[in-house]
Amino acid sequence: MPRPETLQSLIYVDGSDLSETAQMMDALGFVDGQTTNPSNFVKALKKELGTEDITFSKEELLATYKTRVEEISKALPNGSVSVEVYADKDTTAADMITQGTEMYSWIPNAHIKLPITAAGLEAAEHFVANGMRVNMTLCFTQEQAAAVFAATKGAKRGDVYISPFIGRVNDKGLNGMDIVSNIVRMYKQADDHVMILAASIRDANQLAEAIAVGSDITTSYLKAILEWNEQGMPVNDPSTYSHPDLAPIAYKEIDLSEDWRSYDISHPMTDDGLVRFAQDWNALIA
C-alpha cells in the first residue's frame, strides 16, 4: 500500500530491534525514523541473545549501543535515529553534553534524546547553539513543552523534537492525547521550530488519533504500526475520538516568550521515567 496522500505525519518505529525496522518497511513500504532508548535497547539485546542473564562493562555496553545505532542508521539513511543519553536525577548538564556530543558523532542522522529536566534543558540549549539536533523526552505537561520551546529558540525546524508520552498518562486515568493536542495548539501561537513527536503509543487507535490531532511525528511499537497498516493507515478527524473513561486535561494559556527557567517543569512521571531508564541500563553493567 502506498503512503496515503493525506498522511502529513512522519511515522517512526519505537525500538532498537533491527528486525522490526525491516518488518515495518515490508508492511508499509516506508520508515521515516526510529527512536531508541535504554529500555528498548535492553529488550532487543535480551531477545536476540535469548537470555535475561547478560552483563557488560560500561565501556562494552556503550560500544554495543553504538553498533546498534550505526546499524539502524544504515537501514534508515534518510530518516532520523534518536539516541538517548544516560541520565538519572543526578546527571549534570555537563555530563549530558559530553555523552551527547560523542553520540552525535556516531551517525549522520542522530537526534540526541535528553530528559526535560533543568540539566536536560541546559544541555539542549548548548546543542542547539552548536547546530546539533535534539529530542526532548519524557514530556507530560504543557509547561514542559513551553520550556523546551524557550530553551531551543533559534533552532531550525527539524532540529528539535519534543516527545509527549500518551500511554503512560492514560495509565493514570488521564487523557494523554490531550497533552499532545494542547501542545499543538500552544505552539501554533508562535513559530514552528519544535516538531511534536507523539510517543508511548500502544495501539493502532492511539496512532491514528495522534496523527489526527496534528502530531508532526509519531513513534509506536511495531504491533501498533502493523495494526494501523491493516486498517488502511487511517487519518481521521479528531472529533471522531472520545475517551469517556479518561479524565480530560485542560488547555492552559502559557506565554512562550519567557526564559525556560521560569516554567515549572517538575513532574513525577518524568522522575519515574528517569528511574526506569537508568535501572534498565544499569542492570546490564557488571
Q: Are 248 and 176 in contact (CB under 8 A)?
A: no
Domain extent for 185: 23-282
CATH number at residue 232: 3.20.20.70
Q: What are the beta bridge partners of residue 194?
A: 160
What is the reported pLDDT for 86?
Answer: 96
Q: Are 175 and 169 in contact (CB under 8 A)?
A: yes
Q: Are 201 and 221 in contact (CB under 8 A)?
A: yes
Task: Establish if 9 belongs to a structural domain.
Answer: no
Task: Establish if 3 belongs to a structural domain.
Answer: no
pLDDT over threshold 70, residue 236 = yes
What is the reported pLDDT for 3?
Answer: 83
Task: Establish if 18 belongs to a structural domain.
Answer: no
Give me 1's grid cell: 500500500
Task: Establish if 38 belongs to a structural domain.
Answer: yes
Query: What's the Cα-to-Cα distance from 267 to each of 5, 166, 206, rounded to whole Å?
Result: 38, 15, 23
For 20-59, how does the pLDDT look when each residue is reduced to its tens digit (9 = 90+)?
A: 999 999 999 999 999 999 999 999 999 999 999 999 999 9
Task: Establish if 6 belongs to a structural domain.
Answer: no
Q: Are strands 110-115 and 10-14 parallel, antiparallel or unpaired?
A: unpaired
Instruction: Return d(Cα 271, Cα 55) in angstroms, integer.
Output: 25
Contacts of 240 (CB under 8 A, 6+ apart): 212
Enter the pTM of the model. 0.97
What is the reported pLDDT for 1?
Answer: 63
Task: Establish if 12 belongs to a structural domain.
Answer: no
pLDDT band for position 6 (cuts 50, 70, 90):
confident
Task: Establish if 2 belongs to a structural domain.
Answer: no
Task: Establish if 159 belongs to a structural domain.
Answer: yes
Residue with cell 530491534: 17
pLDDT band for position 88 (cuts 50, 70, 90):
very high
Instruction: Return d(Cα 236, Cα 190) in angstroms, integer.
Output: 26
For 98-151, how does the pLDDT look when each residue is reduced to its tens digit (9 = 90+)?
A: 999 999 999 999 999 999 999 999 999 999 999 999 999 999 999 999 999 999
CA distance between the termini of the chain: 46
Helix (H) or strand (E) holding 30: none
Radius of gyration of the chain (CA): 18
Share of the chain above pLDDT 70, in %: 100
Instruction: Return d(Cα 117, Cα 96) in angstroms, integer.
Output: 11
Count of domains forming the chain: 1
For 146-178, how does the pLDDT look when each residue is reduced to its tens digit (9 = 90+)?
A: 999 999 999 999 999 999 999 999 999 999 999
Instruction: Return d(Cα 231, Cα 159) in angstroms, integer.
Output: 32
pLDDT band for position 194 (cuts 50, 70, 90):
very high
Query: Does the active-site annotation cover 113?
Result: yes
Neighbours of 225 (CB within 10 A): 26
Q: Are 84 and 277 in contact (CB under 8 A)?
A: yes
Instruction: Return d(Cα 15, Cα 44) in angstroms, integer.
Output: 8
What is the reported pLDDT for 19?
Answer: 95
Instruction: Choose the catalytic residue: 113, 153, 188, 252.
Output: 113
